Chain A
Amino acid sequence: MNILDQLIELYYEIKTFAPIIQAVIACIIFSVSLIITMFTYLFIMRISHQKEVKQKKQIRPKITRLFEEILFQNKIYETDEIYEKYIAIVGKLNPKKIKLAIDILLQVKFNSSKKSDRYINIVNALDIENYLEKKLNFSRGATKMKTLQMLQQLDLRSLDTKVLPYTYSKNEELKREARFSHLHLSDNDPYRFLDEISGDLTYWDEINLLKFLKIHNEKNQLSNLGKWINYSENTSLTIFLIKAAGLFEQQDTKEVLFTKINSINHKVRTQAYDSLGKLKASEYESTFIEKFFTEREECQLAIIKSIGILNTGNATNFLKKAYESAKSVTLKKEIALVSYTYKSNYNLFEELKSAQNGFDKTIFQHIETQLIKFK
């Protein structure tokens, strides 16, 4: 009897079993087939990965050296020359090899402390723009998102119009990334989506927005954020923009920020106090002091920090009074920290310290201990 006959016989035997046993046998067959399939898949995946790793190990250092030479050495390479040199290392240029070039280019950009304006030469020589444009047009959402990140990292402003269609995508992640890209890449109204942000910003949104605003700021192209702070109805965005105005020291926003210390939202007030301090708005110091005793603790902390930054020397009595009335350890610590470096006619810190004992004294010792980095 051959195997086929045996299988047929087995099949008919199984058919005599109870349905539940038949189902179990079907499950066994399914599980075994799946195990074999997964095993084969894993084998193929690992072999091709190993091949790729081996190949990259050989050519990666060469490409890195080439790019560093192009970007940072005195010699200026022509586009054709870059292309020839690159294909001499990797062979025929294909999408995989372009992807490799982008990866290495970004790696060089991040790892190097030197700046260069020649990234665009490599981008042009290897037709990277065209590659990324195709990726944007013909791939799924997640790939589009990663492509947008690459456009930002490579500062490819010429593709800003390609980004626009995705700024209204139904895919929330893609829409967000496209709007970040627009803010970064567009020369024509980069801030248009600031007006359209709805709902609360996540911390990640804030990190990204700040990154792009910083790029504009470094190029002296950052608009006055005051108008958005003034008119935006999105509280979360307003708080972020107040923070950004302080970080970028936008002196023109002082007046708008001052109006925000009367906001009914304590988070807005906290951020406004904080940013006004960063802007060294000493003209508002007396108002800060007036408001201190009726504010919430978060706002009080921001006021104390700001008074510390302003360091006018006029708030010694206030700091003393504030310490005496402070209930929480956090607030006491902050006042002690500010008084440690505060400019005054007498040593405020020592005076406050000498009046304390027990744990309150430890607070002052804690502050003056230079070995404690994070107070």
Chain B
Amino acid sequence: MESKSLSRDCNNPNPDPKMAFHFLRALLHIQQSAATTSFTGRRRRIKRAAYASMAYSSGARRAWSRALIHTLRRRRQRQQRARTAVALPRRIRVARPPRREVAAADQAQVLRKLVPGGTGMEYCMLLEETADYIRCLATQVQLMRNVVDSVTNS
């Protein structure tokens, strides 16, 4: 266990204490408040907490973190509005025609979809953001793995 954690930490490119702190706080919060919620709901919340902690630890200097924070905030606002508003009949969604998938899809487009806030980004910028995003994501994955290991081992 010790050697494993050590090696993982060495692999970790930029371990951020902020990120771990955010994430664990969020975990605690989830565990305290929503112990009664379903498994899938908890899973989603944990996932969201993971991304949010990533974004907050990275700060607003990165485009992908800004995009993540923005989407999360928007989601929260939507939830609050839904909570406060009278139950309105849901707007019927007109089925859109399926998007024409380009046969030989540009890899950059795929990357744009993967990296938050990557749509409409300049290619050079996209690569930069991707690098940062990968770094943070790897750290986050590492952190979560540590948590899971510690939990399962205990």
Q: Tell whether A and B belong to one assembly.
A: no
Residue ranges of B at the interface with A (Cβ–Cβ < 8 Å): none
